[in-house]
Amino acid sequence: MRRIDKGNSFALSRRAFISATAAGVAGVVTGIEHEAGAQVAFTPRVSGLTLTEATIGHLKDAIRRGGYQMLKVVTGWGLLDRSIYDPATISELCSLTPITLVRTKTGDRYHVDPNEVEAEIAPWYAAKEKKRDLIIELGNEPNTVNDSDGTGAFWAGQSRAWKESYIWENRYYLAEAIARCRRRFPQAKIVTCSLAPRVNLDIEWFLQIYAQGTDSPLHNADYVAVHAYNGTRDGVDESWYRCQDLPLVHGLYGRYAPTKSWIMTEVGLHTDETRARKGERMAGFMHYGESSLVLPWNVWGFCYFHLKLDGNGNPFLGDRAAAYYGEGDSAYAQRVNAGRLRQTPVGWLDSIDPTTGVASGWAADPDTPASVAVHFYASGPGIDGIQFVGGTGADLPRLDVNTHLDMAGHHGFSFRIPDAWRNGTEYRLHAYGLDATGDLNTELSGSPKAFRL
């Protein structure tokens, strides 16, 4: 057991939580059980799919089958039977999953334009009820500039001076777009654009420049996006080594963004397997360490690429099966549900500042790296039982919690006690973590705490 050096917070690794609960250690949140009969530990990650070309009905069916928590959309295309610019459609798409990841059209294979970012994201930010569950992805693979055939020939043909100028210009506009989103969409989260994971496209050069300066796009975003694919060559499964995707991104992003949470905003299987087998393998890749390089702990989640269907609702075959609707979605969910841990929230009410009346701490659901909500109640003179005070999201960065839980994501909270409770009376503040996966809610360790404001 290890104490985190921040206030009075106390955290254990996931394994230690399980062991400590079994041993009945005092002071540790209860409700965490052994994973029954599993040969390999299940790693919780946020799962999602990318809408590329499908009807709203096919999309809803895929989400239902897979039990996905996240939907990735692009601001200008995706639906076969509706306009994706329609406000009612945008609202419906935002309601289909708890988390909505919106990628901009601007910045696709070129520089992102901050003005266009603002215009493209505004209707989605307005439509998302819980705005902290909106993630903005700024563009896509800028190192494939003018690369219409996927060969990288244009980039390879440019001079070193041209390339360096392009990367610095790209970094400038990306940093400006992040700053614009912080001002215009303050509650939303931001994920950087991913670079195309090919060695001939100078991915490390981009990352080196992205990482520099106080306005570093790599460090100022909430998440870092990565892409990876696998396929078959000459009938042989390359086990996630197609184009050296996984080893390349694992090594480079691990070097330049080791403390950030990563979202695999594109991941796919370009293989000749059945759709059901693809779904099973995606579950193994994401949750059971079944990849040639096991994914690091800070992979927060993924969106499989892609839900792309023909006019009859059948998976598009041109990409050889990155799409695996709908047998693959069902198979993915079946394997995930068989191994998922069922655990209640853990966390700590660190402190209440006696001057500002701000309560701080952390909370997490060990079943998912997605941020959870925290509700606060008060007890004391004149109160029968406990009374609801308010709530907030545990969605602030806490790297100490990430380290000791071996979990990606944002799990810190800061809550200002409302003015109605600032009357000179001493009360006790109770903090509860709300479970994200349907289990019981839990009062956090260190709760309740007395306050008088």
Structure confidence by residue, pLDDT tens digits, 167-204: 999 999 999 999 999 999 999 999 999 999 888 899 99
Cα–Cα distance for residue pair 47/300, rounded to 1 Å: 9
Residue-wise pLDDT for 280-319, tens only, equals 989 999 999 888 788 999 999 999 887 887 767 777 654 4
Residues 413 and 279 in one domain: no
Residues 116 and 234 in one domain: yes
Tell me what pLDDT residue 17 has.
33
Q: What is the domain count for the chain?
A: 2
Q: What is the mean pLDDT of residues 2-16?
A: 33
Single residue among 321, 339, 357 that ends a domain in this structure: 339
pTM as predicted: 0.86
| Residue 286 placed within a domain | yes
Residues 181 and 304 in one domain: yes
| Residue 41 placed within a domain | no
Q: What is the DSSP letter of 396?
A: B
Asked if 161 contacts 207 with a C-beta cutoff of 8 angstroms, the reply is no
Asked if 360 contacts 413 with a C-beta cutoff of 8 angstroms, the reply is yes
Tell me what pLDDT residue 431 has.
97
Cα–Cα distance for residue pair 275/325, rounded to 1 Å: 7
Residues 21 and 80 in one domain: no
Q: What is the mean pLDDT of residues 347-359?
A: 96
Cα angle 391, 396, 398 (rounded to 5 degrees) comes to 125
Residues 259 and 394 in one domain: no
pLDDT over 80 (residue 337):
yes
Q: Are strands 387-393 and 412-416 parallel, antiparallel or unpaired?
A: unpaired
| Residue 324 placed within a domain | yes
366 Rama sector, left if φ>0, alpha if ψ -120 to 50, beta otherwise: alpha
What CATH number did the domain enclosing 393 receive? 2.60.40
* Average pLDDT over the chain, rounded to an integer: 86
Q: By CB neighbour count within 10 A (0-12 exposed, 13-18 middle, 19+ buried), where does 47 fall?
A: buried
| Residue 40 placed within a domain | no
Residue-wise pLDDT for 389-445, tens only, equals 999 999 999 999 998 888 999 999 999 999 999 999 999 999 999 998 888 999 999
Counts for the chain of helices (H) and strands (E), in that order: 12, 19
How far the first Cα of the chain sits from its last, in Å, is 34
Cα–Cα distance for residue pair 133/139, rounded to 1 Å: 19
| Residue 402 placed within a domain | yes
Residues 157 and 232 in one domain: yes
To the nearest whole percent, how much of the chain has pLDDT over 70? 86
Coil vs helix vs strand at 210:
helix
Single residue among 339, 365, 384 that ends a domain in this structure: 339
| Between 147 and 100, residue with greater pLDDT | 100
What CATH number did the domain enclosing 280 receive? 3.20.20.80
Residues 287 and 147 in one domain: yes
- At which residue do the structure tokens 């295309």 appear? 77
User: Domain range spanning residue 333?
Assistant: 46-339
Tell me what pLDDT residue 5 has.
34
Single residue among 320, 339, 358 that ends a domain in this structure: 339
Is the N-terminal amide bond of 44 cis, ω within 30° of 0? no
Residues 156 and 79 in one domain: yes
Residues for the chain: how many in total?
Answer: 453
Residues 25 and 145 in one domain: no
